A and B are shown apart, each in its own frame.
Chain A
Amino acid sequence: MGKYEGDPVWDDVVPIPQDDGEGALAAIAYTDEYAEAMGYLRAVMAAKEYSPRVLDLTEHIISMNAAHYTVWLYRASTLLALNSSIPVELEWVNNVALDNQKNYQIWHHRQILIDHLYDSMSSDPAALKSLAESEVAFMTEMFNEDSKNYHVWSYRQWVVRKLDLFDKGEIECIETLLRQDVRNNSAWSHRFFVVFSNPKYCTPGSKATEYDPKIPGEILDREIEFAKAATFEAPQNQSPWNYLRGVLKKGGRKLSSLECFAGEFVKIPEVGEEDIKSSHALDFLADVWAQKGENEKADKALTLLGDKYDRIRKNYWDWRRTSLK
């Protein structure tokens, strides 16, 4: 006898079993436990029942199939209908998230919970501050498992905007992660978002790839210095090179303003062997030189990339050479 069938609490529910039929594609060897629980879930969803036992049932389903696309929403509706404790739910969600690193429904669920909490404390700065702290603390725990988890970073952006965390603390958090791993491109991306979407000085709605005249010069300088330091740390790390290009675009500055800096990694003497510390610096300089009309130098850089320093992209570098005019 199944868990629910034998439980008097569920006596009044007639489960609605799945009808798979003959031509079933991708049939799965469900456990009896899963098949039974799904039958009961289908029954309560049809009856629109929002009750404490539904919370138990949805928890059970989620433990077996966290990617069920509607069970989360049904659970959220039940929680709100029952006026259940959001902090208790968050505690539970933390554990589920830690066990299901790849799942994204959890993070949507968490947004619903935080939205709800926020509304109840929006006039209490101290409560909001401690909410922000506990959210950041939990994300740090997630990042300890996988510091590049896309869903967590995505959620982090949402929290930054929701709780207005465009402050020094957020940038310090990113720097801590980059000190652990300077190649963490997720952290670089998040930094770009925090710095260039800050409502205190950015043009609202300015796209990531767009010049924003409102960005203060000292912020641009700070970001350029930060990225430069990272390239010295690991010249073959593409993240800060991409970041530099992004910052220059945002600031409306020319690539050539960093020609000298990129030249630190690239020595091409008139005679004798060249000395290249970073293929990304060479790529950067090829663009600088092409923009300045110094096509011969650009062509030489692209040739070195294709023939010697980045051979897996030879086709690409050759193609770039053909577009030099």
Chain B
Amino acid sequence: MAVQELSLDVALHIKYWHRCLKNVLPTGYTSMDSSRMTLGFFILSALDLLGAGAETFPEDERANIKDWILKCQHPDGGFCGSPNHKYPDAAYVDVGHGKQTMDPANLPATYFAIMGLSFVGSLDGVRRDDCLRWIKGLQREDGSFGEFITQDGVIQGGTDMRISYAAMAIRWILKGDYDSSKEDGADIDVDQLVKYIRSGQTYDGGIGESSRHEAHAGYTYCAIASLKLANRLSKSKDSEPISGLTNVDSTIRWLVSRQTGYTTESDEEEEGDAEHAPAVKLQGIYTEEPAHEDEEFVGFNGRCNKRADTCYAFWVGAAINMLCQEKVELLDIPAIRRFLFEQTQHRIGGFGKCPGDPPDIYHSYLALAALATMKEPDLKPLDAALCVSIQQKEKIEQVRKAALV
């Protein structure tokens, strides 16, 4: 194909995200009703990356968004995932051992709500101490975090790295990376969390829901970013405090292996054959050869032998970015850009999950985030750990410092 300069059509993507911001999402999004905070964050942060962030909105629009997010704050600390999980204030009556929880706050939703607030105003509406105390209550003995806590104090929800990541990101926003667990009773147990994350490495070098599960790029990103936000990613000289991944070299090998060559022809083949491969016997016949040709596109999969999917360009690219910093570029960036621009970008703006798919908010945001991690010229540079622009990260740091003075 002819070599042509690929560039991001910023105006087209801003248009897509404005539609997401202003229009009511189609009924099909009902199954994401409990994650509206997440969708809201993606919309605000995408516009920020594109240089059309909330500072360009009319003041009353920013104030309304801020009110909407704050209305989802739970009286016991933390935020609910959407107004459908939040009751009128009068409903939270005291039931003898605190206010009635009803539908409790949710940890990932809280991360997205606080990030969302950072775009449209300040964090002064966040009840910081309640929030930190609530997060501490979500940590289990093994160091992992749950998503929410019931009225009876039972920690519920998954145990995986995504939830730990949300906890560490909120802690970073509200407290910074200073380890105050020794002198401050309200902090989480960072040592225990680091141990938990380090024990999540699988035999092939990635990180899974736990070390017994299959390695998965999303969990691998969340584990690395959690360590980064706790300032525990790079190994310290002395053994205290414990830092770093168990085996960085094998994690890097696993991450670069997520790059998968993608040609439009072989894709059609895959639809028919590889996905429903015929029964085979395990015996000594060579059935295929390593590729000699240059691949036109390079996508990423989230697990070994899975198909390329837009979002993994972020989960993998950002994870490698954190592990290697600026030192070395391990990925085939031109081919990845070709995959995103020519295969999953949609003509109405936004990106789909796989080639030919309609755009959705989640993949559209993570595609922009992936491009921003790879220093796409028309996007603000991204902070890989916090998954927002570096400019926004600096803004949050300033807000925190001002609040702590």
- Answer whether A and B are interacting partners: yes
Contact check, A28 vs B67: say whether CB atoms are below 8 A apart: no
B68 touches A25 (CB 8 A): yes
Q: Could you tell me if B212 and A197 are in contact, using CB atoms closer than 8 angstroms? A: yes
Asked if B25 lies at the interface with its beta carbon under 8 angstroms from chain A, I say yes
The interface bits of chain A over 1-34 (1 if a CB of B lies within 8 angstroms of the residue's CB, else 0) are 0000000000000001011111111111111001
Check B91 against A46 for contact (C-beta < 8 Å). Answer: yes
User: What sequence of 0s and 1s flags, for each residue 274-318 of chain A, a beta carbon within 8 Å of any chain B beta carbon?
Assistant: 001111000000000000000000000000000011111111100
Could you tell me the distance in whole angstroms from the C-beta of B402 to the nearest C-beta in chain A? 24
Decide: A65 and B33 in contact? CB cutoff 8 A: yes
Least CB distance from B22 to A in Å reads 10
Q: Is A45 an interface residue (CB 8 A)?
A: yes
A-B contact count (CB 8 A): 257
**Contact (A28, B259) CB under 8 Å given A21-B83, A45-B103, A230-B282:** no
Give the Cβ gap from B330 to chain A, nearest Cβ, in Å.
Answer: 5
Question: What are the residues of chain B within 8 A of A276 when measuring CB–CB?
Answer: 290
Q: Are B306 and A148 in contact, with the CB atoms below 8 A?
A: yes
Cα of A18 to Cα of B34 in the assembled complex, Å: 12
What is the chain B residue whose CB lies nearest that of A236?
A: B288
- Is A268 an interface position by the 8 A CB rule? no
Which residue of A is nearest B147, CB measured?
A: A69
Of A69, A153, A308, which one neighbours B106 at CB under 8 angstroms? A69
Chain B residues with Cβ under 8 A from A73's Cβ? 150, 156
With A and B bound together, what is the CA distance between A209 and B213 in angstroms?
12
Which chain B positions have C-beta within 8 A of A315? 328-332
Given contacts A23-B61, A233-B282, is CB(A42)–CB(B332) below 8 Å?
no
The main secondary structure of chain B at its interface with chain A is loop
Q: Is the CB of B287 within 8 A of A234?
A: yes
Cα(A313)–Cα(B116), bound, Å: 37
Chain B count of residues within 8 A CB distance of the other chain: 102
Shortest Cβ distance from A83 into chain B, in angstroms? 20
A235 to B34: give the CA distance in the assembly, Å: 44
Contact A27 B25 (CB under 8 A): yes
Shortest distance between the CB of B291 and any CB in chain A (Å): 8
In-complex Cβ contact of A25 among B31, B39, B84, B204 (8 A): B39
CB A287 to nearest CB in B, in angstroms, measures 9
Kindly supply a per-residue 1/0 record for chain A positions 169-194, scoring 1 wherever the CB is within 8 Å of any chain B CB and 0 otherwise: 00000000011111111100110110
* Cα separation A309 to B156 with both chains bound (whole Å): 47
Interface residues as binary, B249-280 with A (CB distance below 8 Å gives 1, 0 otherwise): 01011001101110000000000001001011
Contacting pair B71 A70 (CB below 8 A):
no
From A46, A229, A308, B283 is in contact (CB under 8 Å) with A229
Chain B minimum-CB-distance residue to A77:
B150
Known A-B contacts A153-B214, A185-B304, A313-B259; A233 and B68 likewise in contact (beta carbons under 8 Å): no
Contact A20 B88 (CB under 8 A): no
- CB-contacts of B4-61 with A (<8 A): 20-21, 24-27, 29-37, 39-40, 43-44, 61
Please determine whether A238 and B39 come into contact, CB atoms closer than 8 angstroms.
Answer: no
Contacts of B247 in A (CB 8 A): 209
- A209 and B245 alpha carbons, distance in the complex (Å): 12
Does the CB pair A181–B304 fall under 8 Å? no
Does A101 make an interface contact (CB < 8 A)?
A: no
Chain B neighbourhood of A230, CB < 8 A: 282
CB distance from A189 to the nearest CB of B (A): 4
Closest to B211 in A: A208
C-alpha spacing A181/B280, complex, angstroms:
8
Known contacts A19-B83, A42-B103, A232-B284; is-contact A67 B35 (Cβ 8 Å): yes
Say yes or no: A185 contacts B214, CB within 8 Å. yes
Contact A184 B158 (CB under 8 A): no
A27 to chain B, nearest CB (A): 5
Check: B348 CB closer than 8 A to any chain A CB: no
Residue of B68, B298, B305, B330 ringed by the most chain A CB atoms within 10 A = B305
Interface string of B146-157 (1 = CB under 8 A from A): 011010000011
Please indicate the chain B residues that have their CB under 8 angstroms from the CB of A186 in the complex. 214, 303
B341 interfacial contact with A, CB 8 Å: no
A239 interfacial contact with B, CB 8 Å? yes
Closest to B304 in A: A185
Are B27 and A30 in contact, with the CB atoms below 8 A? yes
Tell me whether B283 and A279 are in contact (CB under 8 A).
no
Known: A229-B283, A278-B290. A28 touches B83 (CB 8 A): no
Instruction: Give chain A's interface residues, CB within 8 Å of chain B.
Output: 16, 18-31, 34, 38, 42, 45-46, 64-70, 73, 104, 108, 148, 150, 153-154, 157, 178-186, 189-190, 192-193, 196-197, 207-209, 226, 229-230, 232-239, 242-243, 245-246, 249-250, 276-279, 308-316, 319
19 additional contacts (CB under 8 A) given A24-B83, A26-B40: A22-B67, A23-B68, A25-B37, A26-B25, A27-B24, A28-B32, A31-B30, A66-B31, A70-B148, A189-B208, A189-B214, A233-B285, A238-B304, A243-B203, A245-B204, A313-B257, A313-B259, A315-B329, A315-B332
Ranked nearest first, the 8 interchain pairs of A and B with the lowest CB-CB distance are A23-B64, A246-B203, A25-B40, A26-B39, A189-B214, A242-B204, A23-B68, A208-B211
17 cross-chain CB contacts under 8 A: A23-B65, A25-B44, A26-B40, A26-B361, A27-B25, A46-B100, A65-B31, A67-B31, A67-B32, A150-B209, A154-B213, A235-B288, A238-B257, A279-B290, A310-B290, A310-B291, A311-B294
